[in-house]
Structure 1
Amino acid sequence: MPEADALHPLAALARRHDPDRFLCALFAPAEARQAIFTLIAFNHELARAREVAREPMMVLIRLQWWRDTVEEAVAGRPARQHEVAAPLSAAIEAGRLDPAALLAMIEAREGDEPPEDRQALEERLLGTAGALAAETGRILDAGAGFAEALARAGAAYGLAGTLRSLPHLLAAGRRPLPGEILPANTPLSDPAAAGAIRALAGRGLGMLGEARRALSGLPRRSIAAALPAVLAGRDLRRLASPGWRWDAPPAPRGAGDRMAVAWAGLRGRL
């Protein structure tokens, strides 16, 4: 693993705030990594909009700032002075990132929280973590035929991350799951709620299995776009198990998780 002070600022940001995707990006060809790190940093900034702003209007204002950043880059206007906005604009102008994909990622985060129902939750995951995975695949020349499967694998990873983080999110006043799965003011220790969330993790495993089968012919060059699926599978199996403590924060990533990603990355297949 590269030393932090030897990394490009955006790579260091990705490693600090999204270590899972940072690790996966290391298995991309060297010439593509900077675009991927820029995409990861952009996604982190979008996620922060809801973390740092409690009022829905303030969330929308922050997301609009990023929409303006993307649209100004498309129009060839000067980049905004921001550690992520400036390199993001440069990547858009150079054709390394697709502005339509970036705008779709912004739009997907503008929905209400909690999502109305399970379908709305899955659509949001496809539009956020799923869209990030699909755009990573485009950067790595995966081919349009793999975009949907990458998006579904990415959505499964996003679901696993949401479920792993439930204690933290709820403590922060967030409600990332629809009321039909986790009613308001219901503790995670409630048996009915735990069962519903466990069932949702099982559904995520089904989604992931379909995506992995569709990714069986993914070009070796593009494997980094699919590697989060390795972590999603390991996480969702834990989350779906009867022994998982929903009311306890998850343990940090262990060597087994990192080795599983490395093994898949080195082999070039999931």
Structure 2
Amino acid sequence: MARPSQLSPIAEFARRHDPDRFLCALFAPPERRDALFALIAYNHELARAREAAKTPLIALMRLQWWRDAVAQAAEGLPARRHEVAAPLHAAIAAGALDPADLLALADAREVEAEEEGMPTREAFAAYLRGTAGGFAVAAGRLLGAAPALLPALQRAGAAYGLAGVLRSVRSLAGQGRCLLPQDALDATGLTPAAVVQAPEAARPVLAALAGESLATLDETRTTLRPLGRLAVAAALPAVLARRDLRRLSRGKTVSLDPRSLGDRLAVTLAGFTGRI
């Protein structure tokens, strides 16, 4: 694995902005890592489109900028001047990243710009499959995962995405946002506005959603056993998802602070053994 002093600029960007996926990417084959770091960086830029925008319209414009950057790379046009767009362009031009996967990731983020939020569990699940799940599919395709395993990778990625949303409830509330599904909140008499005002009130909802996801994640992990060490990096976020969801299902708080030694060791063990 590369030492911090040996990191490329795009690897350093990924390490700084998405340390979870950066750690997982270190277990990818060396010749594929920079393309995976470019995917991580691209995903970060999409994820921050709404957070960095003052209005939903500006968020949609940011997403369109990235769609155009992907399309230009696919068409063989010059790369845009941007610290992420340039390495992303190179990965697309080299055939490492599928433009269709990248465009789908941008499309899935549009729901974050909608003022009404997530009306149902079904809409929430589709959002998770398209965002974190779509990332896992793109990463798996990049690392040569068998096509038959891509649906399981998507489910594993969605579980990681769910854990991320549940961990971020307080942070999102600070931005005046709530991504929890309305019908799940209805069961406890909450509204998105109430969660924004008092994030702790949503703890029973977080525990219920985490518990439901845990019930299916173990089955998904079993399905991914044939993945192999060359593509294991695409599934490693599921290791963190399982640990987070287990804590959340017990009503515990899982902060956005840097990962504990236990979390990092769990990923490292899975990365070296190829067992998720």
Give the TM-score, by structure 2 length: 0.92
Matched with 1:130 is 133
Report the CA distance between 1:209 and its aligned residue. 1.8
The one-letter code matched in structure 2 to 1:44 is: H
CA distance in 1, matches of 2:253, 2:102: 35
- 1:87-115 Cα distance to aligned partner (Å, 9 max, x none): 11121111111000000000000122512
Instruction: Kindly indicate whether residue 222 of structure 2 is the aligned counterpart of residue 213 of structure 1.
Output: yes
CA contact (8 A) 1:92 1:99 kept: yes
CA contact (8 A) 2:173 2:199 kept: no
CA contact (8 A) 2:167 2:253 kept: no
Report the CA distance between 1:59 and its aligned residue. 0.7
Instruction: Kindly indicate whether residue 158 of structure 2 is the aligned counterpart of residue 150 of structure 1.
Output: no
Matched with 2:264 is 258
Instruction: Kindly indicate whether residue 168 of structure 2 is the aligned counterpart of residue 165 of structure 1.
Output: yes
Q: Which runs of 4+ in 1 moved over 6 A?
A: none
Matched with 1:229 is 238
CA contact (8 A) 1:137 1:150 kept: yes
CA distance in 1, matches of 2:267, 2:172: 26
Matched with 2:209 is 200
Report the CA distance between 1:116 and its aligned residue. 1.9
Matched with 1:180 is 183
CA distance in 2, matches of 1:39, 1:174: 26
**Structure 2 alignment gaps of length 5 or more:** 186-190
CA distance in 1, matches of 2:174, 2:184: 17
Report the CA distance between 1:129 and its aligned residue. 0.6
CA contact (8 A) 1:181 1:197 kept: no
Matched with 2:7 is 7
Matched with 1:120 is 123
CA contact (8 A) 1:153 1:207 kept: no
Report the CA distance between 1:188 and its aligned residue. 2.7
Of stretches 89-98 and 207-216 in structure 1, the one that deviates more from structure 2 is 207-216
Matched with 1:269 is 275
CA distance in 1, matches of 2:137, 2:26: 17
**Structure 1 alignment gaps of length 5 or more:** none
SS in 2 for 1:110: helix
- 1:6-44 Cα distance to aligned partner (Å, 9 max, x none): 310110011001001000111111111111000000000
Identity %: 55
Coordinate RMSD, CA, aligned: 1.5
Report the CA distance between 1:185 and its aligned residue. 2.6
